[in-house]
Structure 1
């Protein structure tokens, strides 16, 4: 990837209370490499890559500034006009959590929340265009919102980003999110997840493409993580939802024959 279209997911960022432990977990789980950027007037920032220090970027990591904040993954969506997008978030009923700010020469970011409180970030690319690789093993390939009111989420994100929502059915009803005819993520009913023992507030998570979902879920447990939703077959492939040792949630999927391409 040499760039991402406005309105599309472009980056995923981990907020961790223990950067060393997180580096060890994710590098062992996905085979990632990690290096640290020293950014003037900011804390150090870690970049996860595929294939060593020269490999393409797959995700980032920052240190939690407050121990009271929960460890989490944040999904970033690309925009060309961060002030206009923040204004659209507010007009549609969302909140601005962190106002637009420049991050050295990397780009500009803002942190927002939708009407149910699920947070997401906005990104205007500078020298960091976003993920340098997607839709390959070890890289982000999908993003997903878990919420209570799917109709309200469809309205909100449609107003903010112009997304189209399409109904699908995998093992349960599912909403695919599309932009310019291409599906990049989805919405799932969080109450259905809770009935399966998955306790969480509304949130976004990234999906990482893996070659063997069961092996990765087992490996996550060996490394101190947890399996929140066990490996399950759906039309696009086999997926699981995991938590790292600090509790940050993310999902993995091993696409089946025609899997993600068919979904898109």
Structure 2
């Protein structure tokens, strides 16, 4: 059981949270689905809730910040950085846009929210008192984060410029897909998918995948709790998975990596 007790290396997806209209209701949904322990941070947290598994931080649930008022509910991927202010400057140089400028989150860290040149919103986290996710790659914890974009090459260049990623390419037929590895890591920590052939999809978004021990049971339970299954449980070389919309509209995936069917395509680079 991996429990992280130190800050994540720069460029690693280190935290996820959702911004919703009713955090308390969202907390009830995810507590039932993932077995999360929901903790209220008190008045000073501005309504932000912390979710934990076995006492280890797993995710956050918060109200939509003012710049996002009226926008759809979403899950946001955070990337670890050593210096949030320097990273904000790098985002601007690379053609991104700050949605929420860098600010301190009490004693826990410093962060900002940005949009990449293809329109996908993400956040960065400079750890101080809070390192990010301690519970991950286990049932109820995030296991993978991937960008879906209609401008594949622009997205790859942007994230390489700000995080120094190297990419591993996979030929999936009609879809181009790369995994990315930060300079301080030896393994891939997320992916970028070319969605330019898809129609009726958002221009760009980051999708969070949670590990789930029984995807079919998870899809059924999510429906019972008021969610909607967007994609029926499906087998693949990376695991059995499904996409779900929560009752307030945020989309996420659940996957069981132990249930793999078929051969993973060989990397092309």
User: TM over 0.5, yes or no?
Assistant: yes
Contact preservation (8 Å) 1:39, 1:104: no
Change (3 A) 1:169 1:239: farther
Matches within 5 A, 1:181-192: 181-192=186-197
Change (3 A) 1:169 1:256: farther
- Give the drift of 1:257: 6.1
In the alignment, what sits opposite 1:64? 64
Matches within 5 A, 1:2-81: 2=5, 3-38=7-42, 40=44, 42-51=45-54, 55-65=55-65, 67-81=69-83
Task: Out of 217-226 and 113-122, give the one that drifted further.
Answer: 217-226
Change (3 A) 1:257 1:26: closer
Q: Distance in 2 between matches of 1:199 and 1:257?
A: 28
Q: Distance in 1 between matches of 2:250 and 2:140?
A: 18
Change (3 A) 1:84 1:43: same
- Give the drift of 1:38: 2.1
The TM-score with structure 2 as length reference comes to: 0.88
Change (3 A) 1:173 1:117: closer
Q: Distance in 2 between matches of 1:189 and 1:248?
A: 21
Matches within 5 A, 1:1-264: 1-2=4-5, 3-38=7-42, 40=44, 42-51=45-54, 55-65=55-65, 67-169=69-171, 172-179=175-182, 180-194=185-199, 199-256=201-258
Contact preservation (8 Å) 2:17, 2:75: yes
Contact preservation (8 Å) 2:23, 2:47: no
Q: Distance in 2 between matches of 1:72 and 1:258?
A: 28
Contact preservation (8 Å) 2:240, 2:259: no
Q: What SS class does the counterpart of residue 188 from structure 2 fall into?
A: strand
- Post-superposition CA distance 1:188-240 (Å, at most 9, x none): 1234454xxx7333111211011111221121111111122222222111122
Q: Distance in 1 between matches of 2:208 and 2:198?
A: 16
> Alpha carbon RMSD of aligned pairs, Å?
2.1
Q: What SS class does the counterpart of residue 85 from structure 2 fall into?
A: helix
Q: Distance in 2 between matches of 1:218 and 1:169?
A: 32
Contact preservation (8 Å) 2:77, 2:122: yes
Contact preservation (8 Å) 2:57, 2:133: yes
Size of the alignment, in residue pairs? 255
The TM-score with structure 1 as length reference comes to: 0.90
- Give the drift of 1:73: 0.6
Q: Distance in 1 between matches of 2:137 and 2:198?
A: 25
Contact preservation (8 Å) 1:35, 1:46: yes
Q: Distance in 2 between matches of 1:223 and 1:170?
A: 34
